[in-house]
Amino acid sequence: MPDHVDYASQPTSPRLTESAARAARLRAEATADLEGFWKREATDRIAWVKEPTKIKNTRFDGDVSIKWFEDGTLNASVSCLDRHLETRGDQTAIIWEGDEPGTQDSVTYRELHARVCKFANALKGLGVTKGDRVTIYMPMVIEAAVAMLACARIGAIHSVVFGGFSPQSLSGRILDCKSSVVITSDEARRGGRRVPLKANTDEALKTCPDVTAVVVVAVTGATVPMVAGRDHDYAALVADASADCPPEEMGAEDPLFILYTSGSTGSPKGVLHTTGGYMVWASFTHDLVFDYRPGEIYWCTADVGWVTGHTYIVYGPLANGATTLMFEGVPTYPDSGRLWDVVDKHKVEIFYTAPTAIRALMRDGDEPVTRSSRSSLRVLGTVGEPINPEAWEWYYTVVGDSRCPIVDTWWQTETGGHLISPVPGMNPLKPGSATLPLPGVTPLIVDSNGTPLEGEADGHLCIADSWPGQMRTVFGDHDRFIKTYFSTYKGLYFSGDGARRDADGYYWITGRVDDVINVSGHRMGTAEVESALGSHHHVAESAVVGYPHDVKGQGIYAYVTLKHGVEASEALLKELAGWVRKEIGPIAVPDVIQWAPGLPKTRSGKIMRRILRKIAANEVDSLGDTSTLADPAVVDDLVSNRKK
């Protein structure tokens, strides 16, 4: 397999050349005059009430303060809706493709605007005001986007919780940001199955006494118990609401949303994004990285419960007046050709998905792909984890018929949008490399002392200076923000990822270097899984690490020490798996649980994860120095009883 694809040997198009030239030009402009560059982009892209005159006011040292466009005022929903009404009011804003083939829906910009305004008024009627937090626990239906935009319209801060999370995870997130209102649905549909979202919400709310209102959208029509005085049927609520809802005028630095994400320690952090900078970044990157042009059909397969869904299903595409497709289902239902059937059905031009989905589909061979035409496709994208060259190659040749550039977009919940990515037409592409930073982005590779490395380098990935889409704080805990991102390497934003820079200056992300596992593109903190396991009454102690997994990228490997007198059994294994599912959700369930009579610890009691990672990865010949362990014999036991 070639290590790069050179467009000199591919069909080129004037459009690809133009897209690459634009990126190069913008990069040069941002380098020459960063503030002038962002002033222009901000003014051109966003509907401001009051245009900003102060552009950048950021510091990565001391108490860390990040402000962009701080004297500007705006409302995010106006940039996504109102300003399109005149030019494209009757254009489709969202195409909805249901879980069952043959079920679909769509809304125009005008209809979406009306729905958002009605729901915004309904939320006001429930007492929601500017700055209040609203938790959204919804399936992939149009009303999820309506709910987000309705919050934005009245200045409420939404916190979307992925529908795959358990009641316990949901309640933790509601309590942390002190939401008083929850928006959910009766059930979710996924791959022919039902997920009881309302029942989960009821369970979660047993420990959330401050939630005063729950809005329930009827998605499947299942009968669900409604608590009188607290629960409201969405349809009834909006039926009487006015479609006239003047947008709340927000400061650029007023919060837009909170999104919880896993870190290496403790419970998930509430990543806070504000209004002006985030909207500029969402619009800028969606436009540049996908070379989006008006009228094109764009599809991102993420869930709105993750940041990719926020920025690249809702805010970025709608800010750019795009037609964005929302898919309720999964790539393998009813069979592994579903994604490509949907591409043909809706004539999708830009398609954005995760490497784990590509790897899963690849296993089922080419036929489910080649039975479709895919002739509408123009650009392919990936996100969430490093893409292995085999998957890249298959995506490029089989899915894209060797016609469509792949944009491998590196970014994080914290970054708001893409930071390192090719743009269509960039030459050459190298399978597995996210290539070059976007305009205005200043990555650094540092060694373990924090010294920036020049030229070809391998180390930890930091960013030297702020960009508009950067998170501003951890909700309610600014010290944790500083400690997590700015204290490992003073004065730099530390991503938690390792990276290599090659001789062409291309970046290759090598994965997390902290205790975060990337399972199918989703972040899971080892500490969270350990804490879930540790709360089971039979567990004395546990240690959780990631290991290479063919489809998921990384799997979860748990070493569990049982309390004295408790017998290890198959039944207990199942029980622990079920326990983690209940505590956090299906994505956190360990792929492997190994009974560990003891864990490898230093004399000061620190678990040596390096050794546990090696054993899980079956690299038992290179365990390294184990002489500093308090009891080196535990390693022999773990090696000889290694699972799989």
Q: Which residues are annotated as a binding site for CoA?
A: 190-193, 308, 520, 581
Binding string to ligand 6R9 for residues 148 to 187, with x set by CB under 6 A, is what? ----------------------------------------
Q: Which stretch binds ligand 6R9 (CB under 6 A): 47-55, 91-99, 173-181, 489-497?
A: 489-497
> Applying CB under 6 A, which of residues 316, 386, 405, 590 lies at the interface with ligand 6R9?
386
Which tokens hold the place of 302? 């993420």
Binding string to ligand 6R9 for residues 421 to 460, with x set by CB under 6 A, is what? -------------x--------------------------
Q: Smallest distance from the beta carbon of 110 to ligand 6R9, in angstroms?
A: 31
Q: Give 3-state DSSP helix, strand, coil % of the chain, rounded to 5.
A: 35, 25, 40
Which tokens hold the place of 329? 């289902």
Which tokens hold the place of 116? 């958002």
Q: Does 512 bind ligand 6R9 (CB under 6 A)?
A: yes
Q: In what order do the strands lie in the sheet with 493-501?
A: 443-446, 457-463, 493-501, 507-512
> Applying CB under 6 A, which of residues 274, 308, 323, 520 lies at the interface with ligand 6R9?
308
Residue among 579, 573, 570, 549 nearest 559 (CA)? 573
> Applying CB under 6 A, which of residues 413, 466, 470, 473 lies at the interface with ligand 6R9?
413
Q: Does 469 bind ligand 6R9 (CB under 6 A)?
A: no
Q: Provide the Cα torsion 282, 283, 285, 288; round to 10°.
A: 170
Q: Does 495 bind ligand 6R9 (CB under 6 A)?
A: yes
Rounded Cα–Cα distance for residues 75 and 349 (Å):
29
Helix (H) or strand (E) holding 457: strand 457-463
Q: Does 307 bind ligand 6R9 (CB under 6 A)?
A: yes
Handedness of CA 433, 435, 437, 438 (dihedral sign): negative
DSSP 230-297: TEEEHHHHHHTS-S--PPP-EETTSEEEEEEE--SSSSPEEEEEEHHHHHHHHHHHHHHHHT--TT-E
Of 206-265, binders to ligand 6R9 (CB under 6 A) are 261
DSSP-derived pairing of the beta strands 188-190 and 193-195: antiparallel
Rounded Cα–Cα distance for residues 613 and 255 (Å):
39
Q: Does 585 bind ligand 6R9 (CB under 6 A)?
A: no
Give me the phi and psi of 16, to 5 degrees please.
-65, -40
Q: Which stretch binds ligand 6R9 (CB under 6 A): 20-28, 35-43, 408-416, 474-482?
A: 408-416
> Which parts of 467-608 fold into alpha helices (H)?
478-486, 526-534, 570-583
Q: Does 410 bind ligand 6R9 (CB under 6 A)?
A: yes
Q: Does 328 bind ligand 6R9 (CB under 6 A)?
A: no
Rounded Cα–Cα distance for residues 273 and 279 (Å):
10
Q: Which stretch binds ligand 6R9 (CB under 6 A): 165-173, 245-253, 333-341, 403-411?
A: 403-411
Q: Does 385 bind ligand 6R9 (CB under 6 A)?
A: yes
HSE-CB of 214 using CA atoms within 13 angstroms:
30
Residues making up the annotated binding site are: 190-193, 308, 384-386, 408-413, 497, 512, 520, 523, 536, 539, 581
Q: Does 509 bind ligand 6R9 (CB under 6 A)?
A: yes
SS3 407: strand
406 neighbors 380 (Cβ within 8 angstroms): yes
> Applying CB under 6 A, which of residues 430, 523, 536, 614 lies at the interface with ligand 6R9?
523
374 neighbors 401 (Cβ within 8 angstroms): yes
What is the size of the binding site for ligand 6R9 (CB under 6 A)? 24
Residues making up the annotated binding site for ATP are: 384-386, 408-413, 497, 512, 523
Q: Verify cis geometry, omega within 30 degrees of 0, for the bond prior to 405.
A: no
Q: Does 320 bind ligand 6R9 (CB under 6 A)?
A: no
> Applying CB under 6 A, which of residues 79, 353, 484, 518 lies at the interface with ligand 6R9?
518
> Applying CB under 6 A, which of residues 176, 328, 393, 408 lies at the interface with ligand 6R9?
408
Of 254-283, binders to ligand 6R9 (CB under 6 A) are 261
Q: Smallest distance from the beta carbon of 515 to ligand 6R9, in angstroms?
A: 12
Only one residue has tokens 């994208």, namely 381
Rounded Cα–Cα distance for residues 589 and 607 (Å):
21
Q: Smallest distance from the beta carbon of 550 to ligand 6R9, in angstroms?
A: 17
HSE-CB of 238 using CA atoms within 13 angstroms:
20
Residue closer to ligand 6R9 by CB (options 168, 262) is 262
Q: Does 60 bind ligand 6R9 (CB under 6 A)?
A: no
Residue closer to ligand 6R9 by CB (options 186, 515) is 515
Residue closer to ligand 6R9 by CB (options 518, 594) is 518
Applying CB under 6 A, which residues contact ligand 6R9? Answer: 261, 306-308, 383-386, 408-413, 434, 495-497, 509, 511-512, 518, 521, 523
